[in-house]
Amino acid sequence: MSNIKLHDSQIRQIKDICASYGNKPGELINVLHTTQGVFGYLPEEVQREIAKNLNIPVAKVYGVVTFYSFFTMKPKGEHAISLCLGTACYVRGAEGVLDELKKQLGIEVGQVTPDGKFSLDCLRCVGACGLAPVVLIGDKVYGRLDPSKVKEILANYR
Amino acid sequence: MVQVKMHLLVCGGTGCRASESKRLVDELNAQLQANGLADEVKVVITGCFGFCEKGPIVKVIPDNTFYTKVKPEDAEEIVKEHVLKGRKVTRLLYEDPETKTHVSDSKHMEFYQKQVRIALRNCGFIDPENIEEYIVRDGYAALGKVLAMTPAEAIDIVKKSGLRGRGGAGFPTGLKWEIASKNKADQKYVVCNADEGDPGAFMDRSILEGDPNSIVEAMAICGYCIGATKGLIYIRAEYPLAIKRLQVAIGQAREFGLLGNNMLGSDFNFDIELRYGAGAFVCGEETALIHSMEGKRGEPTIKPPFPAEAGFLGKPSNVNNVETFANIPAIFLKGWEWFSSIGTEKSKGTKVFALAGKINNVGLIEVPMGTTLREVIFEIGGGIKGGKKFKAVQTGGPSGGCLTEAHLDTPIDYDNLIAAGSMMGSGGMIVMDEDDCMVSVAKFYLDFIVGESCGKCAPCRIGNKRMHETLEKICQGKGTMEDLDYLDNLSKVIKDTALCGLGQTSPNPVLSTMQYFRDEYLAHVIDKKCPAGRCKALKSYVINADKCMGCTLCAKNCPVSAITGDKKVPHVIDQAKCIKCGTCYEKCKFGAIEIR
């Protein structure tokens, strides 16, 4: 168990979210979506609270959280960087962009920079294939990239 | 009342929004306002026009002028020249790559001439957030027609139309509805599968963003036919814009009495809810999708029982894909005879494809079944980017295969693609050129499958992992001939024994590339070479002494000091030190660095 202690207000927040879905176990995925929207991630303590409210085993909550790539148990960086590794981006050179991102940030996929500013993830197709290769920083889409543009883009966020 | 004389349609699809189409709309409105034209000219944000390569697109109605790559700064010129003075802004018109002339309007663009738009009939024409625009284009008229028939009569029309599931497998839609209608239960469900997970596919997203009302209408029609009062749309959480537009469409339909109780004055009740995916490719499989909607892990289960017997919460459920539903209203409006007159003997109607990869016109297209791959890639798609040579086209996503030049004249339909070793899939079509290594492509898909396998059955969980490792070994130049036999055998075992569609089709990219590009595998295994120069471990950078001017630029930039040589004397790369980063190749101004 990690050493996060939830505040009473946070426990209440989780309770309210679960109640808004009628505390139904069938609504687990919606509950997790909303909770992650509020907390940014789903640490173990949060999962325990959800399990309590929906009256299901924690293992079930954990099973669902770890099954779906959208849910994360680790906090993301202030600027979450997602590189599209869909086929269209792949054949147009996304791997080179990824290597450059790793080099510039000094982290691997799935990690956060020590200052908490950037996190790096890969995702499968945002559907902007006309702009391939594509990188998302937060909600902003950067298209038609090549490794030489990476440094300049990151500079906007540093 | 001032009559609107002109419409400026601006694409608001995900691709064009990423290129600032939202700011363009604001700028156009500001310019119209400044010139006192705000009442006469209306700016409409539409769904995808399909021509994503040259986005953002602005189309002027009524004259169909088609402006490409429009920036917010261009708004002033469009308003002052085109709107006020009736003079087209030539520099923004589409330029035909062959004739180098500007094309005045969309009707004269080869990209659109070969297309037949049924599922995409409203995309790029209407404001997707305004149900009235849908209704003006005969929206909900099909539902009105169906409610005047018996469910059996309506199902018969879908059956006769010959429509087959557009999600990939091609199961006859009318038959699916009939089975669901015959199963008795106190509650049934209509499920729309909008979990478009194929990397490189964006057909369903574009339909939902461009014409969400057609899906709402089609689901209501399906509900009436099979006797369901509840509809569920399972949509990826990664599609925020599509989600928003569906919510708007459902809300407006309720207001207009087109969802809810006693629809259109009948005694039929129907309503729709959204369910969100959370990033799992396997959830496109219908049993997995249903488990996910129930709040569980999206693991597939063995069929039978089929969802039509025991689906969502154990009740009979009919699952169709977005594009399948998008065809339904058109079939009822224009008749099954019309629909079945389009296409080939066993595949009726049209198919939407997301064209992507090394092709000039990346975008969304819809063509009649039976159109050849050559027409799609070289006429509509405008050929290969940068004048390179066509190598392969991948259809069907991670479940499909790679087809070659020899297949270019094959008419596209469900059966032909399967016979050629690929499959229709949901409609992703990735074009590859001479620079793509087919072994790496197969590895790429396997990498995807390994990441997305749910882990429930051993053939998929372990078998694909072993396949991936073997491909990695080959790409590293450590492969043997036995590895090729091993891949072949393992592929067959996985196909025969995996639990669900994902596993059963996962070896397809490997099998098809091994069949059609065997020489490339052999080059990797025997000669330890990657003919496309993609596999890092197998390429070496060499300086051509005849071209090298001894400028020292490469030596200065080499991160590991592997390049040596005196000024004005040809340099040499120490292969033992070289890490194959390619920096010298990029920096050399004389083309003296060669990849071998």
Q: Which segments within A6-130 are labelled E, that is strand? A: 79-84, 118-123
State whether A52 and A17 are in the same domain. yes
State whether A107 and A44 are in the same domain. no
A128 → closest Cβ in B15, B394, B448 = B15
In B, minimum Cα distance to A21 occurs at B295
The domain boundary residue, chosen from A37, A67, A97: A67
Is B357 close to A63, i.e. CB distance below 8 A?
no
If one compares B514 and B169, the residue with the highest pLDDT of the two is B514
Chain segment B226-266, per-residue pLDDT in tens: 999 999 999 988 888 899 999 999 999 999 999 999 999 99
State whether A151 and A83 are in the same domain. yes
Helices (H), B166-312: 173-182, 203-210, 212-226, 240-255, 286-293
Which residues in chain B (454-493) have CB-CB distances under 8 A to chain A?
454
State whether A32 and A90 are in the same domain. no
B276 → closest Cβ in A24, A29, A132 = A29
Which residues in chain B (51-70) have CB-CB distances under 8 A to chain A?
52-53, 55
* Structural tokens at position A8: 């009473």
Kindly report the number of other CB atoms within 10 A of residue B505's CB atom: 23
Interface test with A, best of B23, B69, B202 (most A CBs within 10 A): B202
Is B280 close to A87, i.e. CB distance below 8 A?
no
B400 CB neighbours in chain A (<8 A) are none
Q: Which fold has domain B350-433?
A: Ubiquitin-like (UB roll) (3.10.20)
Separation between Cα atoms, residue B298 and residue B287, nearest integer Å: 8
Look at residue B509 in the predicted model and tell me its pLDDT: 94
B444–chain A Cβ distance below 8 A for any pair: yes
The domain boundary residue, chosen from A17, A39, A67: A67
Separation between Cα atoms, residue A72 and residue A61, nearest integer Å: 12
Is A86 close to B199, i.e. CB distance below 8 A?
yes
> Residue A31: inside a domain, yes or no?
yes
A143 → closest Cβ in B19, B276, B277 = B19
Coil, helix or strand for B89? coil
Residue (of A78, A91, A76, A66) closest to A121 by Cα position: A76
| Residue linked to tokens 């089709």 | B505
Separation between Cα atoms, residue B238 and residue B241, nearest integer Å: 9
State whether A16 and A60 are in the same domain. yes
A25 CB neighbours in chain B (<8 A) are 295
> Residue A2: inside a domain, yes or no?
no
Are B205 and B239 in contact by the 8 Å Cβ rule? The answer is yes
State whether A95 and A61 are in the same domain. no
In A, minimum Cα distance to B396 occurs at A87
Is B14 close to A129, i.e. CB distance below 8 A?
no
Look at residue A1 in the predicted model and tell me its pLDDT: 53
Number of domains in chain A: 2
Residue (of A87, A50, A158) closest to B442 by Cα position: A87
Percent of chain B with pLDDT over 90: 81
The domain boundary residue, chosen from A21, A47, A67: A67
Interface test with A, best of B359, B446, B448, B452 (most A CBs within 10 A): B448
Q: B131-339: which CATH architecture?
A: 3-Layer(aba) Sandwich (3.40)
Are A150 and A104 in contact by the 8 Å Cβ rule? The answer is yes
Domain with CATH 3.40.50.11540 in chain B: 131-339
pLDDT at B168 over 90: no
Contacts across the A-B interface (CB distance below 8 Å): 123
> Residue A150: inside a domain, yes or no?
yes
A64 → closest Cβ in B237, B296, B397 = B296
Look at residue A22 in the predicted model and tell me its pLDDT: 96
Give Dmax (Cα) for chain A.
52
Which residues in chain B (218-237) have CB-CB distances under 8 A to chain A?
237
3-state percent breakdown (helix, strand, coil) of chain A, nearest 5: 50, 10, 40
Are B195 and B321 in contact by the 8 Å Cβ rule? The answer is no
Interface test with A, best of B196, B205, B297, B587 (most A CBs within 10 A): B297
Which residues in chain B (317-356) have CB-CB distances under 8 A to chain A?
354, 356
Is B202 close to A141, i.e. CB distance below 8 A?
no
B278 → closest Cβ in A70, A126, A143 = A70
Separation between Cα atoms, residue B575 and residue B586, nearest integer Å: 18
Which residues form the domain of A55?
A: 8-67
* Structural tokens at position A34: 């909303």
Query: How much is the ipTM here?
Result: 0.90
State whether A24 and A62 are in the same domain. yes
Separation between Cα atoms, residue B132 and residue B121, nearest integer Å: 16
B397–chain A Cβ distance below 8 A for any pair: yes
pLDDT at B209 over 70: yes
Residue A101 exposed, middle or buried by CB count within 10 Å (0-12, 13-18, 19+) = buried
Closest CA of chain B from A72, distance in Å? 11
> What value does the mean pLDDT of chain B take?
93
Kindly give the interhelix angle for B212-226 and B151-161, rounded to the nearest 10 degrees.
120
Are B301 and B260 in contact by the 8 Å Cβ rule? The answer is no
CATH number of the domain where residue A90 is located: 3.40.30.10
**Residue B421 — very low, low, confident or very high, per pLDDT cuts 50/70/90?**
confident
Look at residue A3 in the predicted model and tell me its pLDDT: 66
User: Which residue type does B72 have?
Assistant: P
Mean pLDDT value across residues B492-497: 96
SS (H, E, C) B472-510: HHHHCCCCCHHHHHHHHHHHHHHHHHCCCHHHHHCCHHH
Run of H or E including B41: strand B41-46
Is B362 close to A128, i.e. CB distance below 8 A?
no
Q: Which fold has domain B540-595?
A: Alpha-Beta Plaits (3.30.70)
Kindly give the interhelix angle for A58-67 and A44-54, rounded to the nearest 10 degrees.
120
Look at residue A2 in the predicted model and tell me its pLDDT: 61
Closest CA of chain A from B201, distance in Å? 7
A148, B130, B270, B477, B586 from B595: Cα distances, Å: 20, 55, 63, 16, 11
pTM of the model: 0.92
State whether A86 and A40 are in the same domain. no
Separation between Cα atoms, residue B200 and residue B397, nearest integer Å: 8
Which residues in chain B (85-124) have CB-CB distances under 8 A to chain A?
none
Domain with CATH 3.40.30.10 in chain B: 6-112
* Structural tokens at position B121: 């009939």
State whether A52 and A83 are in the same domain. no
B354 CB neighbours in chain A (<8 A) are 129
Give one word for B352, left, alpha or beta, with left for phi > 0 and alpha for psi -120 to 50.
beta
**Residue B20 — very low, low, confident or very high, per pLDDT cuts 50/70/90?**
confident
Look at residue B2 in the predicted model and tell me its pLDDT: 52
Which residues in chain B (117-176) have CB-CB distances under 8 A to chain A?
none
* Structural tokens at position A11: 């426990």
State whether A22 and A48 are in the same domain. yes
Chain segment A22-75, per-residue pLDDT in tens: 999 999 999 999 999 999 999 999 999 999 999 999 999 999 999 999 899 999
Mean pLDDT value across residues B167-176: 92
Q: Is 3.30.460.80 the CATH number for B6-112?
A: no
B587 CB neighbours in chain A (<8 A) are none
B276 CB neighbours in chain A (<8 A) are 29-30, 33
pLDDT at B416 over 90: yes
User: Which residue type does B221 have?
Assistant: I
If one compares A138 and B145, the residue with the highest pLDDT of the two is B145
| Residue linked to tokens 């590339």 | B513
Separation between Cα atoms, residue A31 and residue A42, nearest integer Å: 11
Degrees, nearest 5: CA angle B144-B219-B301: 155
Chain segment B38-94, per-residue pLDDT in tens: 999 999 999 889 898 888 999 999 899 999 999 999 999 999 999 999 999 999 999
If one compares A147 and B152, the residue with the highest pLDDT of the two is B152
Residue (of B584, B398, B200) closest to A91 by Cα position: B200
CATH of span B438-527: 1.20.1440.230
A53 CB neighbours in chain B (<8 A) are none
Interface test with B, best of A55, A72, A90, A103 (most B CBs within 10 A): A90
Look at residue B490 in the predicted model and tell me its pLDDT: 97
Are B6 and B58 in contact by the 8 Å Cβ rule? The answer is no
Residue A45 exposed, middle or buried by CB count within 10 Å (0-12, 13-18, 19+) = middle
DSSP code per residue over A111-157: -B-TTSSEEEEEES--S-GGG-S-EEETTEEE-S--GGGHHHHHHTT
B357 → closest Cβ in A69, A71, A91 = A91
Are B229 and B187 in contact by the 8 Å Cβ rule? The answer is yes
Which residues in chain B (540-559) have CB-CB distances under 8 A to chain A?
none
> Residue A21: inside a domain, yes or no?
yes
State whether A96 and A61 are in the same domain. no
B295 → closest Cβ in A29, A86, A91 = A29
Look at residue B296 in the predicted model and tell me its pLDDT: 95
> Residue A74: inside a domain, yes or no?
no
Chain segment B316-339, per-residue pLDDT in tens: 999 999 999 999 999 999 999 999
Closest CA of chain B from A6, distance in Å? 25
